[in-house]
Amino acid sequence: MNVLVVDDEPIIRQGLRELVDWEHFGFTYAGDAEDGLEAYELIDTLHIDIVITDLIMPRMDGLALIRKLKECSRPISSVVLSCMDDFTYVKEAMKLGAKDYILKPTMEPESLMDILVGVKGDLEIQRNERREQGLRELELASTLQMQLSTRLHTYLQSGVGEAELQAELFGASADSSRADAATGSLVSLLLHTGASAATTGWRWTGCLAALPLAADSVLLLMPVAAAVTDSGALAAAAALERAAQVRLATAPDWFIGAGVVLRRLQDVQPAAALHAQQLHERFYGVSRNRRIMLAPEAASTPTAALPYDIRSDLLRCIVHDNSEGYLHHADVLCARLMEQRPEKERVLPFIQELLALAAGYARERGYAEIERYEELFVHNKALHPCASFEQVKLFLLQAMSMLSEHQIALENDQKHRSNNPFIRKVLTYMRENYASPISTSDMADHVRLSRSYLSDLYSKEMGESLSETLTRIRMEEAKRRLRAGEMKVYEVADAVGFPDAKTFAKTFKRVVGCSPKEFEKPN
């Protein structure tokens, strides 16, 4: 424990500092002062636990200092140093709370330590009792807060208990329909902790009720003065932000939403809607400020349709092993979502389902290491930690890039996986003659097998039909030529064996997922 010595005689201060083995008895000589005024300024700075003080001193005497110590927020004990003729002052000091006294003329280090050890024990008991009392009060407040929160949640769901809640939260009469009925006010605050620090089980100091808005977000109702203006919401948000900086130091995505002053029970539901809008804005916004504001007049974003058409095009590209196509559609899909801004609660399941469907189609196509893809992007609520749409977009693009790598491994394997001479010969024929209007009959004639036998043999061996392979070869060549940008669309169509540009464009759209013109444009 830290000890401060207060005496206007330097020899007394020096003697106590040098003659007593403070550390041996579990004390620290933290410092000394010439009078009570200087001593009081050192109390918090030096974290003083026990003050040994003279009584008669200039500026502020020992009695005034002991009175000031009683005003401190934490218990601080005092021991009086006195002379023989100071007995009247000693009695007054004991009445004020001094724990003991020692006479300067007869003071010995051993007797001082005996007194201080006893004072230390009493101080520890006092602080433990205060700590336990604080915990009991906190537990009681938490219980009452939980009960009130549960009843408020029930009211918002069913309208039950309105009069009682109005009175408890706002101190108003049962006639809550009148705007001037409330004699007290509350301020609403949003606390979003992020997925790494769920709000379950938290105790909200000074909060009357806490309502969950999402798994990692809670609406807090805090009491404020009845006459406070809406600026009180900003002040309350700033105070909560300071507390969160300590409690959420390791959570990267937490933020505070300043709300509005509430003066009656009917104001709670609109406040919750405003805070839900704050969550929505934060999800799509680029700002990562810890505290955000939203005007009460802000309108909620209308429900937007999810882009199932683009998702279908993306999945079709996976079925046809078109990596450029599904990477392109992933970008288009994210752009559409950013433009329409549907609710986060709908976006995350939509993307998660897309990733799962992509895994299923890729597995059917024989993509490599699909189990690793599922582990990273499908299982265990992989999207849950995403706190912003930018993180969702990055997650989707990473998944598509991994599929593209697996597709390349599949294609490299397919080039060499068939040892059947007829299969190898017909593959070579297609690659060499894709620019001509060849048919399955032409292929059968080339390898000198019947058309039906070759078709059955090929589909069993390669997992796709002859016409599907020919179309894939033509589309890969068409993409290469379009990417080079040296030919018009109708010229590309002719170069890859299509009789007209219209048929080519229709086939390209079906296989690649976008039109040739769209494919030519940079993403």
Q: What tens digit of pLDDT does each residue of 240-287 get? A: 888 777 777 777 788 888 888 888 888 888 888 888 888 888 888 856
For the chain, report the end-to-end CA distance as a whole number of angstroms: 68
Domain range for residue 285?
Answer: 161-175+182-293
Q: Of 414, 434, 465, which residue sits at a domain end?
A: 414
Residue 508 belongs to domain with CATH number: 1.10.10.60
| 444-474 residue pLDDT tens | 999 999 999 999 998 888 878 899 889 988 9
Do 264 and 343 lie in a common domain? no
The larger pLDDT score, comparing residue 172 to residue 149, is at 149
> Which residues have a Cβ under 8 Å from the Cβ of 31 and sit 6 or more positions away?
4, 5, 42, 46
Do 217 and 324 lie in a common domain? no
Do 431 and 509 lie in a common domain? yes
DSSP assignment letter at 86: G
Q: State how far the Cα of 44 lies from the Cα of 92, in Å rounded to an integer.
A: 25
Q: What is the pLDDT of residue 393?
A: 94
pLDDT at 306 over 50: yes
The answer to whether residue 58 is domain-embedded is: yes
The answer to whether residue 286 is domain-embedded is: yes
- Which of 141, 262, 259, 147 has the alpha carbon at shortest distance from 192? 259
Helix crossing, 466-484 with 451-462: angle to 10°?
70
Q: Of 350, 383, 414, which residue sits at a domain end?
A: 414
**How many other C-beta atoms lie within 10 A of the C-beta of residue 365?**
19
The larger pLDDT score, comparing residue 303 to residue 444, is at 444
The answer to whether residue 150 is domain-embedded is: no
Do 103 and 32 lie in a common domain? yes
Does the CA dihedral 32-38-44-49 come out positive or negative?
Answer: positive
The answer to whether residue 342 is domain-embedded is: yes
Q: State how far the Cα of 402 lies from the Cα of 310, in Å rounded to an integer.
A: 20
Q: State how far the Cα of 45 lies from the Cα of 57, in Å rounded to an integer.
A: 22
CB-CB contact of 519 with 489 (8 Å) = no
Number of domains in the chain: 4
Q: What is the mean pLDDT of residues 403-408?
A: 74
Between CA 317 and CA 324, with CA 323 as vertex, the angle to 5 degrees is 95
pLDDT at 113 over 60: yes
The mean pLDDT value of the chain amounts to: 81
CB-CB contact of 257 with 234 (8 Å) = no
Q: What is the pLDDT of residue 439?
A: 92
Do 401 and 435 lie in a common domain? no
Q: What is the pLDDT of residue 413?
A: 46
Q: State how far the Cα of 384 lies from the Cα of 394, in Å rounded to an integer.
A: 14
What are the φ and ψ backbone dihedral angles of 459, each rounded to 5 degrees?
Answer: -65, -35
Q: Of 414, 432, 457, which residue sits at a domain end?
A: 414
Do 289 and 189 lie in a common domain? yes
Q: Is 82 helix (H, G, I), strand (E, B) or coil?
A: strand
Q: What is the mean pLDDT of residues 178-189?
A: 60
- Which of 507, 515, 484, 520 has the alpha carbon at shortest distance from 434? 507
Q: What share of the chain is helix, strand, coil (3-state, %, to 5)?
A: 55, 10, 30
| 318-358 residue pLDDT tens | 887 778 888 889 999 999 999 999 988 899 999 999 999 99
Do 428 and 410 lie in a common domain? no
| 493-522 residue pLDDT tens | 999 999 899 999 999 988 887 888 888 765
DSSP per-residue letters across 117-159: HHHHHHHHHHHHHHHHHHHHHHHHHHHHHHHHHHHHHHHHHH-
Do 270 and 350 lie in a common domain? no
Do 284 and 316 lie in a common domain? no
**H helical segments located in 44-108:** 62-69, 87-96
pTM of the entire predicted model: 0.53
The answer to whether residue 154 is domain-embedded is: no
The answer to whether residue 112 is domain-embedded is: yes
